Structure 1
Amino acid sequence: MIALVVLATLTLGVLAAIFVPPYWRRYRRHHLMQQPFPHAWRQILKQRMPYFRALPADLQLQLKKLIQVFVAEKHFVGCAGLEVTDEMRVTIAAQACLLMLNKPAHFYPKLRQILIYPGAFVVPATQQDAAGVVQQNQQVRLGESWQSGQLVLSWLDTLQSAAVTDDGHNLVIHEFAHQLDQLKGAATGVPLLATVGAYQRWTDVFSAELQQLQQQLARGEATFIDPYAATNPAEFFAVLSEVFFEQPKQLAVRHPQLYQLLKQYYALDPLSW
């Protein structure tokens, strides 16, 4: 009898571990989304997010709900003496949540902390030259996306990216595109897709377009896509995500297959905004 009670208790404990946390998380998110969007946050969106004003009304409402959950769940950490404010939280969250519109909200499940520096920051780097000699140096960065649950941003560049919406550059979109790429593990330029056929189509188109970009740069030709995208497939996806949201018309005209794949993946059509 005691053994049955113990077994039953253990079984309930396992079931609780499996089902209760996700249920509680869904309940809490639903509750947060039902709360009125703070007036002060609306002012931040109006002041800092031209993107927000361009969105259709239904997407504006959806974005505000996503922002409320994102701000509640992610830990924002100021670095180099920076004091984190609601302006920082909301401005970053609004841009990050653009990438979640019209899809089941996952809120970047691997991401725990967002580290914010006042401006560009320096990180140690290791480089190996042609002779195989390894050198230690430092590199200046504006942002980084890590698989270990952290993302790093320059606040100055975050503000500048949010203010200018048509230059094809957005630091937050770039780094959070890496987060999407890293949902499955290491960033490879191929995010999680719905079907085997979708993976094949994505790989075929993106590989061909990346190779074309690299060949154009090797010939010294000017390119519409930022040369940094040619670094590797992961950067190609992140840069194209910036362009998709910021220069959709040019991307659709110059690289229609890329635009269609990103339109399907993000479940959005910025050309209609």
Structure 2
Amino acid sequence: MLGLILVTLAGVIAIAWIATGPLRARKRRQALSAITFPAPWRAILKRRVAAYGRLPDHLQQELRRKILIFLGEKQFIGCNGFVITDEVRLTIAAQACLLLLNRQTDFYPDLRQILVYPNAFYVERSEKDAAGVVWERHALLAGESWSQGQVLLSWHDIEEDCAHPHDGYNVILHEFAHQLDQEDGQIDGAPALPSKERYQRWSRIMQQEYDALCTAAARGDATLFDYYGATEPAEFFAVITEVFFTRANDFSQQHHALYQELAAYYRLDPAVWN
């Protein structure tokens, strides 16, 4: 009898723990966001994250609060001898949280760890050719987003992006866009949207622009977007997210309908930031 009571009690406690999860998460995040943001951390943001200095004051404040929550919930791991410092954590967290501004968010709920390598790193790839033969190969990458709860990044490439913030490339934005894309359970270039009508509009505009990029890539025509975005719709979403935050004026002028679609999703208009 005692054993049955203990098992029943354990079940009740487990159910209560699960049921109160959102409340506990909200309280934890409120506590984290109330922490005073250290002055040296602000200096890192100004030095490393060009977008931070262009944000209106209220978005700077919101970004700092989101960074505190992100740092309190995600684990950073140095790989191949790389040492994680405040500069590394702040540089990555700030740009990851840039994608979350102005929106209700669960802070990349599937993400647990950010693995940082000193340089580009190799990962194993399995590919099947037209004959059905599976080939194993090593791919050299600057970043990768995994559905198992990890984002992998090269610090060397991050530093290059920080040194050239308006060239249309940003590995952090790219990989965290993939994390947003997969929040609805699919990595297909369409993140979670609020209505059927929004999905229909998103699909129509994205398909038009994706097809145009594929055509430009096949012809070798000049384009604002990197040809890598023509690989598949998921990569297209990640590539245009990079350009949205790093070359907003060019994006808005050359691909206005697409820009407006991203602006509606992110609830931001980087083209108006000073």
Q: What band does the TM-score fall into relative to the shorter chain?
A: over 0.9
State how far apart, in whole Å, the 2-side matches of 1:137 and 1:246 are: 32
State how far apart, in whole Å, the 1-side matches of 2:92 and 2:85 are: 11
Aligned positions, number: 270
State how far apart, in whole Å, the 2-side matches of 1:7 and 1:160 are: 56
CA deviations over 1:205-227 (Å, ceiling 9, x no partner): 10111111112222332222111
Q: 1:8 to 1:39 in 2, by over 3 A?
A: same
Find the residue that maps to 1:188 and give its secondary structure. coil
Deviation at 1:117, TM superposition (A): 0.2
Report the counterpart of residue 242 of structure 1 in structure 2: 242
Report the counterpart of residue 269 of structure 1 in structure 2: 269
Q: 1:35 to 1:231 in 2, by over 3 A?
A: same
CA deviations over 1:86-142 (Å, ceiling 9, x no partner): 111111000000000001131100000100000100112223344444322211000
Contact 1:147 1:186 in 2 (8 A): no
Report the counterpart of residue 218 of structure 1 in structure 2: 218
| Unaligned segments of structure 2, at least 5 residues | none
Deviation at 1:166, TM superposition (A): 1.0
Find the residue that maps to 1:119 and give its secondary structure. coil
- The 5 Å alignment of 1:130-145 reads 130-145=130-145
Deviation at 1:173, TM superposition (A): 0.3
| Residue 56 of structure 2 is aligned to residue 53 of structure 1 | no
Deviation at 1:184, TM superposition (A): 1.6
State how far apart, in whole Å, the 2-side matches of 1:208 and 1:263 are: 17
CA deviations over 1:150-180 (Å, ceiling 9, x no partner): 1100011112213322111110000000000
Paired letter, 1:28: R
| Residue 196 of structure 2 is aligned to residue 193 of structure 1 | no
| Residue 97 of structure 2 is aligned to residue 97 of structure 1 | yes
- TM-score normalised by the chain length of structure 2: 0.93
| Unaligned segments of structure 1, at least 5 residues | none
Paired letter, 1:218: A
Report the counterpart of residue 254 of structure 1 in structure 2: 254
Find the residue that maps to 1:106 and give its secondary structure. coil
Find the residue that maps to 1:137 and give its secondary structure. strand
Paired letter, 2:135: Q
State how far apart, in whole Å, the 2-side matches of 1:13 and 1:133 are: 51
Report the counterpart of residue 39 of structure 1 in structure 2: 39
State the identity %: 47
Deviation at 1:7, TM superposition (A): 11
Find the residue that maps to 1:109 and give its secondary structure. coil
Report the counterpart of residue 112 of structure 2 in structure 1: 112
Deviation at 1:147, TM superposition (A): 0.5
State how far apart, in whole Å, the 1-side matches of 2:190 and 2:136 are: 31
Paired letter, 2:224: F
Q: Structure 1 residues 202-211 or 126-135, which shifts more?
A: 126-135
CA deviations over 1:26-51 (Å, ceiling 9, x no partner): 11110111111012211211221121
Contact 1:50 1:163 in 2 (8 A): no
State how far apart, in whole Å, the 2-side matches of 1:131 and 1:9 are: 57
State how far apart, in whole Å, the 2-side matches of 1:7 and 1:220 are: 66
Q: Structure 1 residues 181-190 or 256-265, which shifts more?
A: 181-190
Contact 1:76 1:113 in 2 (8 A): yes
Cα RMSD of the aligned pairs, angstroms, is: 1.9
Report the counterpart of residue 177 of structure 1 in structure 2: 177
Paired letter, 1:179: Q
Contact 1:120 1:142 in 2 (8 A): yes
Paired letter, 1:17: W
Paired letter, 1:35: I
Deviation at 1:72, TM superposition (A): 0.9
Report the counterpart of residue 164 of structure 1 in structure 2: 164
State how far apart, in whole Å, the 2-side matches of 1:179 and 1:163 are: 24
